[in-house]
């Protein structure tokens, strides 16, 4: 079959672009190296998902981070729907001030934020977030009542004079025609066994398939084929048969995630062809995230209920003048099971950490990080089992990144203490769950890899539409912005010759 567009990757960037293009009447195929998740009991097993990496893909990335001198292999999760299947559903917008270094304004994104919130049925309440950006429409549905652990955080933060608000969430709390959330504690980090999380497979991809999208799962794309500066197609490997395949189309849309997209462009030699090619792979961001654990003199969540429900933006603008960035947000987050806590606790403290799990409650801090030129994705000479060159990541936080994180940690500690915690402990996050940058958009190829419509500078028929295109990371979770931006650029992709 002939296609008008090939999309690589089924996360927020790929799925939202796919929906917009099929609705515009284009014939579109989406290639995804992962397979649909099982939706069985193992999907709610902390051991299977968090420790054994049930969905870890076979292709490694060599990661050097936190000042280490050499890299270690990381196997990213892969599945149809991308990281949306595992994500926590927190759906926040950037603030107008976050977009100072973007080649567009908040007003350019605003209508698409509303559309994305509708597609994902985000449950939220307008007017509670003290730094809420302008909205043209209210949320489609109200949030559910705060559960007991979330109330504890809300009360403590309010008592300190701050303005906690209910976190907008893409989870089905209300639609009776679909499975509804049962408020269990296996949400963030897990596939939803009952499909109550509004991940992309239960929402946008389903709508796109109904409108004519073809999905090919188990398709690992190795290279983009270019001819005279124009993208013509892609070559990849069927992960089940091992056979090579080739798909041609006039529009090639890369949405393989902040680590996968630059790797694919570099494997295809796009850095040599594009005047902005030196920026491909650079300015990797992932937020300076950390979890602060409080240990309480009582069992914090005896009924094991869901409680990713409270957020604070009170400190968002505190360091803007000094550092030129947001500080970030503090969010309520669940406590993993005793097995998981034990596994990640320092040697010697494992047994006690396991016993203390039921007395713990956590806060997540999401701090903006700098787009540093030398934090980057490049290629090694190693090949994966499909014969594709393996990517390497080099990442170190700046002094300012750690400062923003610690600014939030200090306030998160006060909240946990006020809520009754006796002691607190900081855990750094070493995943790339909030990966961004690496193929950033900008005003010119002298300073960016993509133009303002996410087209690779100096090429025809080639776009990058996932979290890679962010010029800065802002201080909020990225998925809703990836979705809104994909809806923003899709019409220009549809109209391109």
Ligand X SMILES: Cc1cc2nc3c(=O)[nH]c(=O)nc-3n(C[C@H](O)[C@H](O)[C@H](O)COP(=O)(O)OP(=O)(O)OC[C@H]3O[C@@H](n4cnc5c(N)ncnc54)[C@H](O)[C@@H]3O)c2cc1C
Report the interface residues with ligand X, using CB under 6 A: 8-14, 31-34, 78, 82-84, 86-90, 188-189, 219-221, 255-258, 260, 264, 433-434, 466-467, 477-480, 482
If we measure between CA atoms, which residue out of 447, 199, 405, 153 comes closest to residue 290?
Answer: 405
The Cα–Cα gap between 162 and 233 comes to: 53
Least distance (Å) between residue 417 CB and ligand X: 25
Report yes or no: 433 and 203 within 8 Å, Cβ to Cβ. no
Least distance (Å) between residue 135 CB and ligand X: 17
Residue 24: Cβ-neighbour burial (10 angstroms; 0-12, 13-18, 19+):
middle
- In 123-268, the DSSP E strands lie at 165-166, 214-217, 219-227, 230-238, 244-248, 251-254
Give the pair of three-digit tokens for residue 136: 């043209």
Residue 32 or 129 with smaller CB distance to ligand X: 32
Report yes or no: 157 and 332 within 8 Å, Cβ to Cβ. no
Residue 263 or 494 with smaller CB distance to ligand X: 263
Give the pair of three-digit tokens for residue 55: 């969905």
Report yes or no: 135 and 106 within 8 Å, Cβ to Cβ. no
Least distance (Å) between residue 386 CB and ligand X: 9
Residue 189 or 461 with smaller CB distance to ligand X: 189
Decide the pairing of beta strands 290-295 and 360-367: antiparallel
Secondary structure class of 1 (helix, strand, coil): coil
The Cα–Cα gap between 181 and 173 comes to: 5
Residue 359 or 388 with smaller CB distance to ligand X: 388
End-to-end, the C-alpha distance of the chain in Å comes to 20
Least distance (Å) between residue 420 CB and ligand X: 26
Q: Burial letters for 295-309: b for 16+ Cβ neighbours within 10 Å, e otherwise? A: bbeeebbeeebbbbb
The Cα–Cα gap between 308 and 368 comes to: 20
Give the pair of three-digit tokens for residue 230: 């124009």
Residue 166: Cβ-neighbour burial (10 angstroms; 0-12, 13-18, 19+):
buried
Residue 211 or 235 with smaller CB distance to ligand X: 235
The Cα–Cα gap between 222 and 46 comes to: 32
Instruction: Report the 10 Å Cβ neighbour count for 374.
Output: 10
Residue 260 or 294 with smaller CB distance to ligand X: 260
Least distance (Å) between residue 32 CB and ligand X: 5
Least distance (Å) between residue 422 CB and ligand X: 28
Residue 293 or 438 with smaller CB distance to ligand X: 438
Residue 25 or 53 with smaller CB distance to ligand X: 53
Residue 384 or 406 with smaller CB distance to ligand X: 384
Q: Which helix (H) or strand (E) holds 394?
A: strand 389-395
Instruction: Please name the residue ranges forming H helices in 81-185.
Output: 106-119, 148-159
Least distance (Å) between residue 214 CB and ligand X: 14
Least distance (Å) between residue 352 CB and ligand X: 26
Residue nearest ligand X (C-beta atom): 11
Give the pair of three-digit tokens for residue 117: 């919130």
Residue 116 or 273 with smaller CB distance to ligand X: 116
Chain centroid to Cα 154, Å, comes to 25
Least distance (Å) between residue 77 CB and ligand X: 7
Residue carrying the six token digits 């899709």: 490
Least distance (Å) between residue 190 CB and ligand X: 8
Least distance (Å) between residue 347 CB and ligand X: 25
Residue 415 or 480 with smaller CB distance to ligand X: 480
């Amino acid at each position: 079959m002939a296609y008008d567009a090939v999309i690589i990757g089924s996360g927020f960037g790929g799925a939202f672009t796919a929906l917009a293009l099929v609705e515009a009447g284009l014939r579109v195929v989406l290639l995804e190296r992962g397979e649909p998740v099982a939706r069985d009991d193992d999907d709610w097993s902390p051991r299977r998902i968090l420790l054994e990496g049930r969905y870890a893909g076979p292709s490694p990335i060599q990661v050097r981070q936190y000042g280490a001198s050499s890299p270690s292999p990381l196997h990213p999760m892969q599945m149809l729907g991308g990281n949306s299947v595992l994500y926590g559903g927190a759906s926040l917008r950037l603030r107008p001030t976050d977009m100072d270094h973007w080649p567009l304004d908040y007003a350019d994104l605003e209508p698409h934020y509303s559309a994305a919130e509708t597609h994902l049925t985000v449950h939220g309440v307008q007017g509670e977030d003290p730094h809420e950006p302008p909205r043209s429409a209210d949320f489609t549905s109200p949030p559910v009542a705060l559960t007991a652990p979330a109330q504890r955080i809300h009360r403590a933060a309010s008592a300190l004079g701050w303005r906690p608000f209910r976190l907008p969430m893409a989870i089905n709390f209300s639609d009776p025609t679909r499975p509804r959330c049962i408020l269990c504690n296996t949400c963030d980090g897990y596939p939803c066994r009952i499909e109550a999380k509004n991940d992309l497979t239960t929402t946008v991809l389903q709508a796109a398939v109904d409108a004519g999208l073809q999905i090919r799962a188990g398709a690992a794309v190795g290279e983009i084929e270019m001819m005279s500066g124009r993208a013509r197609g892609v070559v990849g490997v069927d992960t089940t048969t091992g056979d090579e395949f080739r798909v041609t189309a006039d529009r090639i849309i890369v949405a393989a995630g902040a680590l996968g997209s630059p790797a694919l462009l570099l494997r295809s030699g796009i850095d040599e062809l594009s005047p902005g090619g030196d920026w491909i792979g650079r300015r990797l961001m992932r937020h300076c995230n950390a979890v602060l654990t409080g240990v309480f003199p009582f069992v914090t969540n005896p009924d094991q209920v869901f409680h990713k429900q409270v957020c604070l933006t009170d400190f968002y603008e505190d360091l803007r003048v000094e550092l030129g960035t947001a500080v970030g947000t503090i969010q309520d987050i669940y406590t993993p099971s005793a097995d998981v806590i034990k596994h990640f606790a320092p040697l010697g403290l494992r047994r006690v950490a396991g016993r203390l799990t039921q007395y713990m409650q956590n806060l997540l801090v999401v701090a903006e990080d700098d787009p540093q030129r030398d934090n980057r994705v490049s290629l090694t000479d190693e090949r994966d089992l499909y014969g594709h060159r393996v990517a390497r990541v080099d990442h170190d936080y700046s002094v300012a990144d750690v400062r923003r994180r610690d600014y939030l940690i200090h306030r998160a500690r006060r909240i946990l203490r006020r809520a009754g915690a006796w002691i607190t402990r900081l855990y750094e996050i070493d995943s790339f769950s909030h990966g961004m940058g690496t193929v950033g958009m900008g005003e010119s190829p002298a300073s960016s890899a993509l133009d303002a419509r996410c087209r690779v500078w100096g090429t025809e028929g080639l776009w990058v539409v996932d979290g890679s295109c962010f010029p800065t990371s802002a201080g909020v979770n990225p998925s809703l912005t990836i979705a809104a931006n994909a809806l923003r650029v899709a019409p220009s992709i549809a109209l391109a010759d």
